[in-house]
Amino acid sequence: MYTEEKQRQLIQKTKQLLDITIDQIKTIDDAKAIINDLREVIRYHDWRYYVLANPVISDYEYDKLFHLLKKIEQKFPELITPDSPTQRVASGLTKEFPQVKHLAPMLSLDNSYNEEDLRDFDRRVKEATGLNTVEYSVEPKFDGAGISLVYEDNLFIRGATRGDGIVGEDITNNLKTIKTIPLSVDFKSYGIKKIEIRGEVLIRKDLFKKINQERLEEGLPP
């Protein structure tokens, strides 16, 4: 995602931004001069922390950068953008989700427990593709919750559950709290204006166990 040279540049920008305080940001031009760099380095450090699990700055330094961004956006709200790291906050969460229609049906995969089913699948793939030989990539299946993410003009605009495959529940605000889901991606450079991406959300077993224990301590069912 980041070249070595880009990472060196972002680490250098990080050092420069850590020396800036909100008191130095007196005008909107002062804010405009650093806000894009500030967002870029925060996204980079999110990636280092949440994707690589290998941060290069301390929690204190990260918090300092994040709080500076929040203060700037509070001072100049017209500079807030939908993909800003501050827009991941959970204030918009709800338990009642509106329904949304998928851009294309979100179908489920068939399973198989015998060789005959697999050979039949291979036959159908060859017939559909017109190929005599097909290579397959096989990987373990994660048992998570299926979701779709819609990006338009590079921005994450909607996330939904699978639902019945045609209509799902809009959980956009909930998904924005997951820091491994980017709020913006440069799809336009590939000629893509709008795209729907499917995947699964997962929770690690140790975190799942911790949450259940906390619920039990609060007198709630696991």
Active-site amino acid positions: 141
The CA distance from 68 to 131, in Å, is 57
Q: Which class for 37: exposed (0-12), middle (13-18), buried (19 or more C-beta within 10 A)?
A: middle
- Contacts of residue 222, defined as CB under 8 A and 6 or more positions apart, other chains included, come to 212, 215, 216
What letter represents residue 152's amino acid?
A: E
Whole-angstrom Cα Rg for the chain: 22
| Pairing, β 167-169 against β 145-152 | unpaired
Tokens of 110: 């068939």
Integer Cα distance of 159 and 174 in angstroms: 9
In 3D space, the residue among 111, 117, 29 whose CA is nearest the CA of residue 76 turns out to be 29
Region of 11 (left: φ > 0; alpha: ψ -120 to 50; beta: rest) is alpha
